[in-house]
Structure 1
Amino acid sequence: MSTEQPHPGRHRTGDGLVRRLVAGQFPQWVGLAVRRVPSGGTVNAIYRLGDDMTVRLPLAKGGAEDVSREQEWLPRLAPQLPTAVPELLGAGAPAEGYPWPWSVYRWLPGENPEAGALREPVLLARDLAGFVTAMRSITLPGAPVAHRGGPLASLNAETRAAIEELRGVPQEDVDCDAATAVWEDALRAPGQDAPPVWLHADLMPGNLLVEGGRLTSVIDFGCLGTGDPACDLFPAWNLLPPEAREAFRRALDVDDATWARGRARTLSQALIALPYHRGTNPSMARNARHVIRAVLRETGAC
């Protein structure tokens, strides 16, 4: 059973709500078993529907916007990607007191990879690079702007505020001065000088599925869009050990400036996530701590 506790203000869901929504809008699936899927995610509640489907219910308004984005773009992106992605089987509408769009997808097997416990880290790194390369090669017109895909400086205020918040949490033992130095170095590095590319924009371990140590699926495309290619370098620090990280970089042929932006973006996300999740979501907080350590070690700051 998941140990994560919800943040205040999230919409309540439950097996009964899912059954009523399905019965009202997809009667062909009435009677299938419904059960909550434990997840470290914070934006959506996930339910298994029978053996072959999953129901995704946003927990807040922002998540509802993500679902609509997935419903529009995933069917168009899927044929161009080397790994499985969620296949939309039903687009649900608000009903039964539930206020937002929701989705039914085909169930994708696999497990989330865990930093420090990868079976084939270098092969997984190459798989991830193949997925990122495929995303970057997409040329579909009319793309939305990826969530947090703009200039690195657009994250400056939020990142610095998170660092200051962590100064007040000494038990986390974060070297805030070192984190600040890494962030400021990245801000001084050259910015993006190439056109925006298609991005997943949230390549966290919880959005990856593996079997036998190899990448089989990428899920949760709610942040997708175009932006700085550095945004899809997250796995280098939130998942991969140093040898595999270097394999990932070589496979993508990442220049120093883009690598520095990617590292800083991953650090920024972790610094913001840690104080937010430390009391409510142990898996997200644990990964944030891992990222901070990985980044500071790579930069020689600790």
Structure 2
Amino acid sequence: MGYIRTDLSYSYTQMMDDIEFLTRKFPFLRCEVLGASVMGRDIPALRLGMGCFHVHVNGSFHANEWITTLLLMKFTEDCAESYANGLSLEGVSVTSLLDTCSLWIVPMVNPDGVELVLRGLPDDHRYFHELLAWNNGSSDFSGWKANIRGIDLNDQFPAFWEAERTRRLVNRPGPRDYGGTAPLTEPEAIIMANWTDVRQFDRVFALHTQGREIYWNYRDLEPAESEPLALELAGVSGYKPLKLRDSDAGYKDWFIQRYRRPGYTLESGWGCNPLPITQFDQMYDELVPMLLRGMKL
């Protein structure tokens, strides 16, 4: 069954407690803090494996997609458990996989936003009055996607950022779709860009919800191998691979543009965000074979 509970909403505090437990239990599971969010929360990265093929996967760029963090934390636990005991996962030898691959996981890019979605807005919050105004006077933040300053972190990257700003027609902070006054103004986005430049990943996956779709291209800048792998990922998950148009400034867009290497957005689940925790088991069963395939050369 495992240690991590998958039947409850998943907060930043719970994630940090689970990381502490898992790194104690599995000494080979490494954790590093990449930096801090607007509100000073650590943004941790986890590493499994010591191989030369470096794969990165992240979750919760969008606050109301917090279930992606739980998916990645459960995957981390299952991979670590399988590696520690020489077991396979979905028929794949995790030991063999992690001999060739280093998997880098950032489970929660947007911790301040996740806490706002799950905990609400306390009276003493630093941005109390601004957040209420940005949310059109509503105290219901369950649909909030942005970071705590009302900026959509997945519209923050310098990949035709101006085109995305023009397309969105959102000119002030709010729950979603405001890319800020310029690319990379927010600490969470800056952290992800700088760390990616340091680590020079061979392949990246950004986990989002919803739609059960795989986005694999960016302005014809992706390498030839991107589409065949997208078709393989679709084959093991039942997701639909889509060639997107009119979408810019996201993390995987920037990664493809900057490195000309494969980058993917995986849209898990179905319905309206935030997705109910009752979808977790199906989402996890579909995600695991995609991530395992994505970790192979």
TM-score after normalising by structure 1: 0.27
Q: Which has the larger radius of gyration?
A: 1
TM-score normalized by the length of structure 2: 0.28
Which structure features the higher share of helix residues? 1
